[in-house]
Amino acid sequence: MIKFIKRAFIKPNWYNLRNLKPISRLFGFDRGTPIDRVYIEDFLYKNKQYIKGVIGEIGDDTYAKKFGSNITKIEVLHYTPDNPKATIIGDLTDYKTLKENILDCFILTQTLNFIYDFKPAIAGIHYMLRKGGVALVTVAGISQISRYDMDRWGDYWRFTDLSIKKAFDEVFGPENVEVETYGNVLTATAFLHGISAEELTKEELFHKDKDYQVTIAIKAVKK
């Protein structure tokens, strides 16, 4: 209800966004659904056939439960032992702290942006997957800084489809990596202002312009 009220009474002036302050600094969470969350969930929904068996996720099990089927087990990886949902305490950049060949699917959304050594983290994903296992990964392209993450462990990277494809190719092999982009100039502008997905039409949200990459999605298969 609060989000609806904010959308109703604090409306963006689409004809003049000339302002030094965004409409929301919370990615639109306080107004509705953040635009990148719509993209993330669209990607996972389209690839839900791979979310099965033993599924790994970072921090919690939200997406594994929402999109998974025929689930044998959910492994939640966390860096520190203070997360009650964690089943594996480990550092994705240090394979010695991880379990090898245990996952049929690894869901990793909007995480690599906050890992300085992101290439070893990609190797960590590969290490945990079984042969034939699938990594479903999303990263941010055009986005504001996440102040919460910046002030704790750091917000380091913004990717393009080319940069993240090359990084995954080095580990998984180019023939095993597919990359998809989401976004356009309107959704990029709206996302930077913290305008929510509910304030745009479906056609506006899902029009794709590869020159304005808001969210980049990667499917990588371990052979």
* pLDDT tens sequence across 105-132: 999 999 999 999 999 999 999 999 999 9
Q: Would you state the pLDDT for residue 56? A: 99
172 residue type, one letter = F
Apex 25 CA angle, 24 and 31, nearest 5: 40
Of 77, 31, 10, nearest to 191 (Cα)? Answer: 31
- The string of pLDDT tens digits covering residues 16-35 is 788 899 999 999 999 999 99
Of 73, 40, 42, nearest to 55 (Cα)? Answer: 73
Spatial separation of the C-alpha atoms in residues 171 and 141, rounded to whole Å: 21
Q: Would you state the pLDDT for residue 13? A: 74
Q: Quote the DSSP letter at residue 194.
A: T
Instruction: Evaluate whether 110 touches 38 at the Cβ level (below 8 Å).
Output: no
Of 59, 10, 15, nearest to 30 (Cα)? Answer: 10
Structural domain spans, the chain: 33-181+213-221
Examine the pLDDT at 1 and tell me if it is beyond 70.
no
Of 91, 130, 120, 100, nearest to 222 (Cα)? Answer: 130
Examine the pLDDT at 5 and tell me if it is beyond 60.
no
Q: Would you state the pLDDT for residue 16? A: 72
The mean pLDDT value of the chain amounts to 95
Q: Would you state the pLDDT for residue 7? A: 59
* CA 137 to each of CA 21, 59, 152, 178: distance values in angstroms, whole numbers, following the listed order: 31, 14, 22, 10
Examine the pLDDT at 2 and tell me if it is beyond 60.
yes
* CA 135 to each of CA 22, 141, 172, 184, 214: distance values in angstroms, whole numbers, following the listed order: 34, 19, 10, 25, 20
Examine the pLDDT at 8 and tell me if it is beyond 60.
no
Q: For domain 33-181+213-221, which CATH number applies: 3.90.1720.10, 3.40.250.10, 3.40.50.150, 1.10.3720.10?
A: 3.40.50.150
Q: CB-hemisphere CA count at 13 Å for 76?
A: 16
Q: Would you state the pLDDT for residue 10? A: 64
Q: Would you state the pLDDT for residue 88? A: 98
The encoded tokens of residue 103 equal 């996952």
Partners of 181 in the β-ladder: 216
Residue 191 main-chain phi, psi, to 5 deg: -65, -40
Spatial separation of the C-alpha atoms in residues 176 and 168, rounded to whole Å: 9
